[in-house]
Every structure is written in structure tokens, then in C-alpha cells.
Amino acid sequence: MSFPVLSTIVFAPLAGALVIACLPAARKEAIRWVAAVAAGVSFALSLWLVFAYNQAAGGVQFVENVPWFPSFGVSYHLGADGISVVMLLLTGIVGFTGVFVSWGIEERVKEFFITLLALMFAVSGVFASFDLLLLFIFFEFAVLPKFVLISVWGSTKKEYAAMKLALYLVLGSAFTLLGILSLYFVAGIHSMDLIQLANHPFTHGQQLWLFALVFLGFAVQVPVWPLHSWLPDAHVAAPSAGSMMLAGVVMKLGAYGILRVALTLFPQGAVYWAPVVAVLAVINVLYAAFVAMGQKDLKYLIANSSISHMGYAVLGIAALTLSGLSGAVLQMFAHGIMAALLFALVGMTYDRTHTRQIAEMGGLARVLPVIATAFVIAGLASVGLPGTASFWSEFLVFVGSFGIFRVLAILAIFCIVITAYYILKAVQRVYFGPIRVEKFQKLHDARWSDWVALSIIIVFIVGVGAYPSLLTDLIQTGLAPIMARLPESATAATAFGAGWLAWLGGAR
């Protein structure tokens, strides 16, 4: 087996964390550089993976399969298909820039970077694992560093937010575990391997409730509408690097899980529940957009806008068409880097002005030109302007879902106007206009570490925006097996859906 790329990508951050553990706490600079190197290795390799992935062959490549619990059929099975490659790239970017954004952290630097790298390790583990239990273990392991990050280095109501996050996510993973175990026993093929399970013919009835169970489990993570109230508190309370990882990558675990587990194993279940998922997605989009508009705190606004954008991804998944699904995956990537950029910028603004209330800030563009320009770019990316990655993802989702859920798609599309309204209102209130508060006159602009983080993300946002097929071809190969297993009547989502569900979903 050639050089174990995936294991390196996954375990590089962990190795970095261990090295940091050995360093004395006083040597802050050394700790930061070790963290940067560890995240850098993972990022560089994930970038290399994008080009090394043989698109013609498609399917799962770079496979590393070592039996772990033979009695249960559980194996340490790492692999990467089109979707995993894109997600690993996302983790690499957000992780690497996350380290640089937290260059200014002063208290308990050593533990901070160990936790951050542990989170990065757990998340990249989820994206690279093709064994159900391994995926779940990484998924569960991710909750721990999140809790620590928020409760120790957090800000407003951090204990409350950390506890709420932990409870919600554990609730979610309880359902997921229930789903995984039941599907393991229902399948009875004595193996947790995703690929084998995918080929196993689950009956129609089984697929219905199994899909619901697994979807519910992962939906808490996405978050889908009724289960979302942990996210705004957690993101606001987390330190900037923490909320970058949270918004940038951790939210995508849920959507990735739905795609990788629920959709791959239970296509008929997906078709049956598609209208319900679509309705939830659109509620997600509109509800969160309106709530975001009513927020006074900049970070709450962005957290809610993240929920709204993830609503698009879920809508894409619910459409079950190739463009819908690839739009969903691209939206996961595009929103990931954009949300990371937005949270990084809010973090930087907060470090300087020590306030996040929109009303208290004004006219920062003259004092913080670099941060203001980056924020305008990020804001326009979140509005989904062409030339940014999110335009293509949202467009593909619209094309995918317009055909199937006509009414819902129109509502979702209308939301681009609302998003434009509240994002630009925030940009105008915070960065433009005269400086209202005297002490904001002399703020120092972005440091070199901020520059590195901002420029990397902006390069990716504009790069993918200008030439999206770099990623969409990858995603397309990743989706091929899933699309193949979707019953051809997938586009006729109403075939299985109950009557009123279809009506609600707006039959073609």
C-alpha cells in the first residue's frame, strides 16, 4: 500500500497536538508554529489529494483497510471519494487558517491549540472514514474538543452554550447510534463497512424508518429547523477559531452524514421523506434569515445566516437530482470557507473594539480597511454574488430543486433578497458611515497572521467562484454511485410521498 495519505491527513493534527503537549506552556511562539505546521501538513496533503484523485476511475481511492474488531466486522477503513476529497480540503483550509486567526490568543495557549488540533483530527476523521462505526466514533469524539473550546475560551454565556451544544449533539448522536445499530442488525451481514452495506438490499419498509432515524440523528448537527437553537449560542460563545471550525466544518458533518449514510444506504427512504426534508429546509432558510435580520449582535446575525445557508444545502439534498446534490455538496464547501472567513473577521473586529453590538460600531472601514474589505467580500459571498463560490452552489441547488419542489424553490430563491438586505444592512451599520464612538479612532488593522488567514480563504472563494468545475467534477464522480442507486423515479418524488406531502412540496 503506498504512502498512507489519508491517515497522515487525519492524524497530522493529532501528532501536532501531542508534540505541543510536550512543549512547555511558556514557549507560546513555538506552540503556535507547531500547530501551524501540523495543520499545514494536513492542508497541503488535502490540496494535493484534489489533484491526485483520479477522476476517470472515480469511486473510493487511497483506501486503507485494517480489521479493528473482526468479531463485529468493524475495520479501520479510510478512503476518499469525490465528496470526501472536497470536504477534506475544506477541513484543511478552515483548520489551517483557524490556527493563524488564533495567533493572538494569550491565555492557556498550549491547551487551546491541543483542543483545536484535536477537533481538526476528529472532523477530518469523519470525512475520511468509510466504516460506519469508525465514522461514528470520530463524530462523537468531535463533541469533546468543541465543548472544551467553548467553555474555556468562550465569551458570552459560555458555560450555558457549551452545555447546550453538548446535550444537543449527544442527543443527535444517540439517534444516530440507534440508527447505526439497528441497520447493522437489520442488515445482518456482520459488517460495518459502508460499501458492503450500500450493496445490501434493505427492504422498502426498513428503509423508511431507518432513513428517518439516521436523518434525525444527523439533522441536529446540520442543524435542521426545530433542532437548531444550540447553534447560535454555541457559535457566539466560541472563540473566533472555535466558531470558525464550528461554522466552517462541524456543521457540515451533519449534512455529510446524511449524504454518506442516510442517502447511500436508504435511497427509497430518502425519496419517501424528500418532501418533508424539503419543507424543513425551506423553513430553515426563511426562518433563520428573518431571525438573523432581527439580531442586534453581529455574531448572532452570522450564526443565524449560517443556519439559513445550510438550509440551501438540505434543500439540495432533498431534491435528489444530480445538480441538487452536487449543489448541496458545493454549498457545504462554499459556505464552509465563507462562514469561516466571516467568523474570523468578526473575531478580529471583536478583538479590537471589544463589542459585537451592531449599534455600537460604525465607520470602522476608515480605521480597519483590510478587515472591512475582507468583510465586504465575505458578505457578498454570503449573498451569493457571482464570482464567489456560493453563487454556483446556490444556483445548482436552485436548478436541482426548481424542477421538483416548484413552490418551495421559489420561496428559497426569494431568500437571496432577504439575505442581501440583512447582510448589507449589517455591513453598512458596522463598517460604513461615520465613526460614532471616539475610542475607535485609533485601532490597529490586520496583523500578518490575519493577512495569511484572510488571503487564503479569499483566494479559494474567488477561485472556486471563477472556475467551479474544479470541484464540481470531483463532486460529480463522488455522487455517481449514490445517483445510480436512487430509484429512477427519484425525480418523481411524489411517487412514494403521501398525498399532502406532495401537494405541499408542489408537484411538478
Partner 1 sequence: MVNLAWWVVFLPLLAFLLISLVTRPHRKLSGWITILAVGASFVLSVAILLDMLARPGARESAWQWLSLGPVHVELGVLLDPLAAIMLVVVTLVSLLVQIYSTAYMGEDPGYSRYFAFMGLFTFSMLGLVVANNYLEMYVFWELVGLCSYLLIGFWYEKPSAAAAAKKAFVVTRFGDFGFLLAILLLFGHLGTFNFGEVAQGVADGRLPAAAVTAAALLVFFGAAGKSAQFPLHVWLPDAMEGPTPVSALIHAATMVAAGVYLVARTYGLFVSSAASLLVVAYIGGFTALFAATIAIAQSDIKRIVAYSTISQLGYMMMALGAGGFTAGVFHLMTHAFFKALLFLGAGSVILMYFHEQNIWRMGGLYRYMKITAITMIVAALANAGLFPFAGFFSKDEILVAVKESGHLGLYWIGAFTALLTAFYMFRLVFVVFFGPRSEFSPSGHEALPDIGNPRPAQVEAPGAGASGEPAVSAQARAEADKHLHESPAVVTLPLMILAFLSIVAGFWGWPGLSHGFGSFVFFSGAGAGGGAAAEAARAAHAAAGFDWPTVIVSNFFVLLGLLLAWVLYGRRRRAADPLAEILGPVFTVLEHKYYVDEFYLWFIRHFVDGGAAVLAWIDANIVNGIANGIGALLMGIGGLLRLFQNGWVQRYALIFFIAVLVLVAVLVYREPALTAAIVGGAR
Binding site residues, partner 1, CB under 8 A = 164, 167-168, 226, 228-230, 232, 287, 290-295, 321-323, 326, 363, 365-366, 380, 383, 385-387, 391-392, 395-396, 398-399, 402-403, 409-410, 413-414, 416-418, 420-422, 424-425, 427-428, 431-434, 467-469, 472, 476
For the chain, the first-to-last Cα distance in angstroms comes to: 49
DSSP state for residue 25 in the 8-state scheme = T
Q: In 3-state terms, what secondary structure has residue 434?
A: coil
Question: Of 37 and 424, which CB lies nearer to partner 1 in the complex structure?
Answer: 424
**94 and 244 in contact (C-beta within 8 Å)?**
yes
Q: Using CA atoms, how far apart are residues 285 and 389, in angstroms rounded to an integer?
A: 18
> What's the min distance (Å) between Cβ of 483 and partner 1?
8
| Cell output for 335 | 459556505
How would you label 220-237 residue by residue, b for 16+ Cβ within 10 Å and e otherwise?
Answer: bbbbbbebbebbbbbbbb
Region of 62 (left: φ > 0; alpha: ψ -120 to 50; beta: rest) is left
CA nearest neighbour of 10 among 137, 125, 135, 93? 125
> What's the min distance (Å) between Cβ of 472 and partner 1?
5
**461 and 377 in contact (C-beta within 8 Å)?**
yes
CA nearest neighbour of 222 among 256, 269, 245? 256
What are the backbone dihedrals phi and psi of residue 68, each rounded to the nearest 5 degrees, phi first?
-115, -60
Q: Using CA atoms, how far apart are residues 139 and 310, in angstroms rounded to an integer?
A: 19
Strand partners, 67: 75
> What's the min distance (Å) between Cβ of 22 and partner 1?
40
Question: Of 40 and 232, which CB lies nearer to partner 1 in the complex structure?
Answer: 232
Helix orientation angle between 322-353 and 448-466, rounded to the nearest 10 degrees: 160
Question: Of 49 and 475, which CB lies nearer to partner 1 in the complex structure?
Answer: 475
Question: Of 212 and 380, which CB lies nearer to partner 1 in the complex structure?
Answer: 380
> What's the min distance (Å) between Cβ of 237 and partner 1?
14
Question: Of 218 and 431, which CB lies nearer to partner 1 in the complex structure?
Answer: 431
How many other C-beta atoms can be found within 10 angstroms of the C-beta atom of residue 439? 9
Question: Of 67 and 387, which CB lies nearer to partner 1 in the complex structure?
Answer: 387
> What's the min distance (Å) between Cβ of 292 and partner 1?
8
**404 and 271 in contact (C-beta within 8 Å)?**
no
Question: Of 99 and 169, which CB lies nearer to partner 1 in the complex structure?
Answer: 169
Find the largest Cα–Cα distance for the chain: 69
Query: DSSP per residue over 252-286, as a string?
Result: HHHHHHIIIIIIHH-HHHHHHHHHHHHHHHHHHHH
> What's the min distance (Å) between Cβ of 370 and partner 1?
12
> What's the min distance (Å) between Cβ of 480 and partner 1?
10
What are the backbone dihedrals phi and psi of residue 66, each rounded to the nearest 5 degrees, phi first?
-125, 125
Query: DSSP per residue over 82-114, as a string?
Result: HHHHHHHHHHHHHHHHHHHHGGG--TTHHHHHH
Question: Of 86 and 249, which CB lies nearer to partner 1 in the complex structure?
Answer: 86
> What's the min distance (Å) between Cβ of 29 and partner 1?
30
> What's the min distance (Å) between Cβ of 12 and partner 1?
32
Question: Of 70 and 434, which CB lies nearer to partner 1 in the complex structure?
Answer: 434
Question: Of 73 and 327, which CB lies nearer to partner 1 in the complex structure?
Answer: 327
Residue appearing with cell numbers 438586505: 421
Q: What is the CA radius of gyration of the chain?
A: 22
Question: Of 229 and 489, which CB lies nearer to partner 1 in the complex structure?
Answer: 229
> What's the min distance (Å) between Cβ of 155 and partner 1?
18
What are the backbone dihedrals phi and psi of residue 297, each rounded to the nearest 5 degrees, phi first?
-95, 130
> What's the min distance (Å) between Cβ of 232 and partner 1?
8
Question: Of 23 and 418, which CB lies nearer to partner 1 in the complex structure?
Answer: 418
> What's the min distance (Å) between Cβ of 463 and partner 1?
14
